[in-house]
Amino acid sequence: MKPAEIPHRKTTGRYFVTYLCILIIALLQFVVALTSSGNERELLARLLILAFIEAVLAVLFFMHLWTDNRGLLWFVVIFTGFVLLAMQYGWTDSFRILNGVPWAR
């Protein structure tokens, strides 16, 4: 196959558009953070939503999960959810260390 006939050249535009979308979302996060209305919960929710969208775009396109097997995509989604939930299990231990064991007093 000649270098001019390489089929991946058509997908370069898709990656460039995805990269521009991620840059726009990052700029939007900056604008949202600067123009916050003072309510921290709303600001946190807006920033987390934007970060989630940005992460999904990055994972789907730059890790090529969009074109791979759907089973692999579901495995990554379920495994990541499991890891995030498992990480939350340790918070109760952190509060116990901070406040002491309640039945020891």
Express each pLDDT in 37-87 by its tens digit: 778 888 888 999 999 999 888 888 877 777 777 888 888 889 988 998 888
At 10-25, the pLDDT tens digits run 667 778 888 899 999 9
Asked if 65 and 72 count as a contact pair (C-beta separation under 8 A), the reply is yes
Asked if 77 and 63 count as a contact pair (C-beta separation under 8 A), the reply is no
